Chains A and B, each alone.
Chain A
Amino acid sequence: MPIVQLQHVRKVYGAKVAVEDLSISIEPGTMFGLLGPNGSGKTSSIRMMIGISAPDSGSVSLFDQPFARKSLARVGYLPEERGLYKKMNVLDQLIFLGQLHYVSASVAEKRAREWCARLHIAEAIPKKTEDLSKGMQQKIQFIAALLHEPELIIMDEPFSGLDPVNAALLMDTLVDLRRQGRAVLFSTHRMDQVEKLCDNIALLHHGRLILSGSMREIKSSYPRNRILIHFEGGDGFLQNPNIETLQRYPGYAEIKLRSSATLAGDAQALLAEALRCARITHFEVTEPTLEQIFIEKVQEDSPGNGPNFPLDGIDEPEGSYLDA
């Protein structure tokens, strides 16, 4: 029984097509990554799942039923733009948001305290929201989405703006929730997070689904044609004719080999050549990373854009998939 099912969903804002023919399905106990650059339709898709907007065509089902507002009591939502009452104290705020999800005040208070302790922000409980750091506010928002123990957790960019320690804390929490059988959907443009966490993914570009399926299947459908090599010394081996593209960094290089029937042999030959001119500290042959898959997919999707493709619409340089 899918927890969320979108079928051929289309959403248009004025002249801009935000989402076009999107079909995805999320099963209980899985973690789903919704990927794509900013402006690719992630937030628009999420808003249709939680009834903030309605699709122009296509259908949205929650818990195997056509969308109905009463289902929302079973959904936890963390919006992309954090929204909390600035002047309200944290506990009152959490209780209020819990009550909106049909949790009694006393239960909401108990859970709020437990969650704050778990996320190491117990000292924030009596404070006003505006007095908290951005990371703390984000944790409060995170807790607000979970107080009513939702079966479906939808989080729009949950880790953006968090330091690595806190991002890891929230990731671990989401993994725990999945283990309890909840369905978790989150959007991000950080491919490394998705690779680590997600069972299934959907890649959006210009509002269209360009890749979807289980993480493992997607990765294994790609040949092991990527080589990561750390070396000291001469780099003459990088002139090897089997190398299709090359990214050269201080001390290491990322290589994509030309596809051929003898791919595995080509890799070994490259290693042998490298050993002749340099000291090798690390040599790894893998399938492409999700980031590389994504870039390839997007390039296929918009061939006219050339190598500089999807920079438009990206306003958060830190942590974007263009890091490398």
Chain B
Amino acid sequence: MPKLHAGSLRNVLLIARREYRERVRTRGFLITTIMIPLIMGGFVGGSIFLGSKTPSDTQIAVVSSDTQLALDLQTELERRQQPQLASAPKTPAHPASPAQVKRQARILVTAMDSGPGTRAELDSDLESGDLDGYLWITPAASPTGRPTFIYTSRSSTQASIKNALADALRQALLREQLAHRGVVAAEVDTMLQPVAIVTAQGVPREDHESTEISVFLLFFIMYLVIMLYGMNVARSIIEEKTSRIFEVLLATIRPEAMMAGKIIGVGSVGLTQVGIWLAAVLVLAASPIGIHLGGDAIHIALTAPQVIFFLIYFILGYAFYSSIAAALGAMTNSEQELQQLNMFLMLPLLFCFAMLGTLLSTPDSTAARILALIPPFTPLLMYLRVCLGHPAHWEVALSIALTLASIYGIIWVTSRIYRIGVLMYGKRPSLPEILRWLKYS
């Protein structure tokens, strides 16, 4: 382990401060600070917008010589399209906002008899857009047989309408059959009453959903910032190697102090950025504008433990990955060479991302519990478990201990690679060479 005494600590801070000041002043910092939330906000906002967007009504014609069936179908469709009205009648004093009552796509049905020119007329309506589709019902050839139904639509992407039609038809036919067998209409209504299942959960549903959204956002930020700033560490080392500033620095300070200063400096920039975002989210969430903008759709709930554990796991993850990045930077001489090696950084992070679904749905499954204890995955996955699942205290403690131990090991190896690697120009070292460095330095 690098020995850092008082003088070195002073140098570490000097290096870190320089790194921090130079980075925070750049235009790149300003741009990422503004752009990343905008892009993420765009994603979230966009999906919410798409989700809440009122779908347009569908105009359908039903052609049948059996007028009763057509009319039944019409009433059936209308009946099922107004469940809100039936169950929760609106009071004028409390008008529902569009976001609260999600309007469903309505299917408007016109019943008509089939005539000689009907089909041609319907086809032209379809073409002009006055009609979205028509259902052609051919009566059954025999009394016991079933009529045939042909649905012609303007676009093929109307599976939901087809399903709704089929459902409604089945209901209408059933109604007709029951009526045939002498069941009274009122009784039929009771029999066909739809069953409503009310979902009940420990956590009120809406809160759970917004927890998931905010935790997902934090997960994504952690992923992004660790990757971005880990790569920044590697890149800045390569830059100092190519500009040969290393020699000037090494003539006064130890390579370990340089590495530590760089990691701390770059990491502080990342923390600053995350801090700005968190502060912005909190201010927005608390302000009237935020409530107005977000409304109930994006109610971002952040609790203190979520923020604290975010910081803990973010710092652990950053230290873990940036130390690896420092070694990669010390071993390579150019960005291109770095790109060939950066899979060591990307793969574990991408794996965490791939596991996101599992963790979100079953945060306490065996797989999730094991994965969250493996150091490269701990920062991202254990954080998800802490927020969404119920990890035991010992699991949280163990995950932190294991990650700290592996960071210690990585820094031990990295500082050795670093000490020699930074002065190596020219070709990239081979694996045996790197092993030799570890032995000799």
Closest CB in chain B relative to A90 CB, distance in Å: 14
Name the residue on B nearest A141 (C-beta). B248
From B26, B245, B252, A85 is in contact (CB under 8 Å) with B245
Known: A53-B423, A88-B22. 15 other contacts (CB 8 A): A52-B250, A69-B254, A75-B251, A79-B244, A79-B247, A81-B247, A83-B243, A84-B245, A85-B243, A86-B243, A87-B26, A96-B14, A100-B11, A100-B249, A100-B253
Instruction: Determine if A206 is an interface residue (Cβ-Cβ < 8 Å).
Output: no
Please tell me if the beta carbons of A83 and B11 are within 8 angstroms of each other in the complex: no
Please tell me if the beta carbons of A72 and B251 are within 8 angstroms of each other in the complex: yes
Please tell me if the beta carbons of A83 and B14 are within 8 angstroms of each other in the complex: no
Instruction: Determine if A50 is an interface residue (Cβ-Cβ < 8 Å).
Output: yes
Q: A85-B22, A96-B14 are in contact. Are A101 and B246 (CB under 8 A)?
A: no
Number of interface residues of A (CB under 8 A): 26
CA–CA, A84 and B248, complex, Å? 8
Render B322-337 as a binary contact track against A, CB cut-off 8 A, 1 for contact: 0000000000000000
Instruction: Determine if B18 is an interface residue (Cβ-Cβ < 8 Å).
Output: yes
Closest CB in chain B relative to A71 CB, distance in Å: 11
Instruction: Determine if B7 is an interface residue (Cβ-Cβ < 8 Å).
Output: yes
Instruction: Determine if A70 is an interface residue (Cβ-Cβ < 8 Å).
Output: yes
Please tell me if the beta carbons of B243 and A52 are within 8 angstroms of each other in the complex: no
Task: Point out the residues of chain B lying under 8 angstroms from A73, CB to CB.
Answer: 252
- Sample of 27 A–B contacts (CB below 8 Å): A50-B251, A52-B250, A52-B423, A69-B254, A77-B247, A77-B248, A77-B251, A81-B244, A82-B244, A83-B240, A83-B244, A83-B245, A83-B246, A83-B247, A83-B248, A84-B248, A85-B22, A85-B240, A85-B243, A85-B245, A86-B239, A87-B26, A88-B22, A97-B248, A100-B11, A100-B249, A141-B248
- Between A70, A83, A99, the greatest number of chain B beta carbons within 10 A of the residue's beta carbon is seen for A83
Task: Point out the residues of chain B lying under 8 angstroms from A100, CB to CB.
Answer: 11, 14, 249, 252-253
Render B217-261 as a binary contact track against A, CB cut-off 8 A, 1 for contact: 000000000000000000000011001111111111110000000
Instruction: Determine if A51 is an interface residue (Cβ-Cβ < 8 Å).
Output: yes
CA–CA, A52 and B22, complex, Å? 26
CA–CA, A77 and B239, complex, Å? 21
Number of interface residues of B (CB under 8 A): 21
Task: Please provide the chain A residues from 40 to 87 with a CB less than 8 Å away from any CB of chain B in the complex.
Answer: 50-53, 69-70, 72-73, 75, 77, 79, 81-87
CA–CA, A53 and B255, complex, Å? 11
Instruction: Determine if A144 is an interface residue (Cβ-Cβ < 8 Å).
Output: yes
Closest CB in chain B relative to A144 CB, distance in Å: 7
CA–CA, A84 and B18, complex, Å? 13
- Between B245, B247, B251, the greatest number of chain A beta carbons within 10 A of the residue's beta carbon is seen for B251
CA–CA, A153 and B73, complex, Å? 98
* Shortest Cβ-Cβ A-B pairs, 8 listed: A83-B245, A83-B244, A81-B244, A79-B247, A77-B251, A50-B251, A83-B248, A100-B252
Closest CB in chain B relative to A320 CB, distance in Å: 22
Render B19-31 as a binary contact track against A, CB cut-off 8 A, 1 for contact: 0001000100000
CA–CA, A50 and B250, complex, Å? 9
CA–CA, A70 and B8, complex, Å? 10
Please tell me if the beta carbons of B251 and A51 are within 8 angstroms of each other in the complex: yes
Closest CB in chain B relative to A310 CB, distance in Å: 22
- Between B239, B248, B249, the greatest number of chain A beta carbons within 10 A of the residue's beta carbon is seen for B248
Name the residue on B nearest A51 (C-beta). B251
Render A217-230 as a binary contact track against B, CB cut-off 8 A, 1 for contact: 00000000000000
Please tell me if the beta carbons of B22 and A87 are within 8 angstroms of each other in the complex: yes
Please tell me if the beta carbons of A79 and B18 are within 8 angstroms of each other in the complex: no
Closest CB in chain A relative to B409 CB, distance in Å: 25
Task: Point out the residues of chain A lying under 8 angstroms from B423, CB to CB.
Answer: 52-53
From A52, A70, A85, A87, B251 is in contact (CB under 8 Å) with A52
Please tell me if the beta carbons of A79 and B243 are within 8 angstroms of each other in the complex: no
Task: Point out the residues of chain A lying under 8 angstroms from B247, CB to CB.
Answer: 52, 77, 79, 81, 83
Task: Point out the residues of chain A lying under 8 angstroms from B11, CB to CB.
Answer: 100
Please tell me if the beta carbons of B243 and A72 are within 8 angstroms of each other in the complex: no
Name the residue on A nearest B255 (C-beta). A52
Task: Please provide the chain B residues from 1 to 45 with a CB less than 8 Å away from any CB of chain A in the complex.
Answer: 7, 11, 14, 18, 22, 26
CA–CA, A88 and B253, complex, Å? 20
CA–CA, A84 and B251, complex, Å? 14
Name the residue on B nearest A82 (C-beta). B244
Render A92-106 as a binary contact track against B, CB cut-off 8 A, 1 for contact: 000011011100000
Task: Please provide the chain B residues from 245 to 299 with a CB less than 8 Å away from any CB of chain A in the complex.
Answer: 245-254
CA–CA, A85 and B239, complex, Å? 9
Name the residue on B nearest A50 (C-beta). B251
Closest CB in chain A relative to B29 CB, distance in Å: 13
Task: Point out the residues of chain B lying under 8 angstroms from A75, CB to CB.
Answer: 251
Task: Point out the residues of chain A lying under 8 angstroms from B239, CB to CB.
Answer: 86
Closest CB in chain A relative to B244 CB, distance in Å: 4
Task: Point out the residues of chain A lying under 8 angstroms from B22, CB to CB.
Answer: 85, 87-88
Q: A70-B7, A86-B243 are in contact. Are A79 and B251 (CB under 8 A)?
A: yes
Render A255-295 as a binary contact track against B, CB cut-off 8 A, 1 for contact: 00000000000000000000000000000000000000000
Task: Point out the residues of chain A lying under 8 angstroms from B14, CB to CB.
Answer: 96, 99-100
Task: Point out the residues of chain A lying under 8 angstroms from B240, CB to CB.
Answer: 83, 85
Closest CB in chain A relative to B154 CB, distance in Å: 59
Name the residue on A nearest B425 (C-beta). A81
Closest CB in chain A relative to B236 CB, distance in Å: 10
Name the residue on B nearest A156 (C-beta). B247
Closest CB in chain A relative to B419 CB, distance in Å: 10
Task: Point out the residues of chain A lying under 8 angstroms from B245, CB to CB.
Answer: 83-85
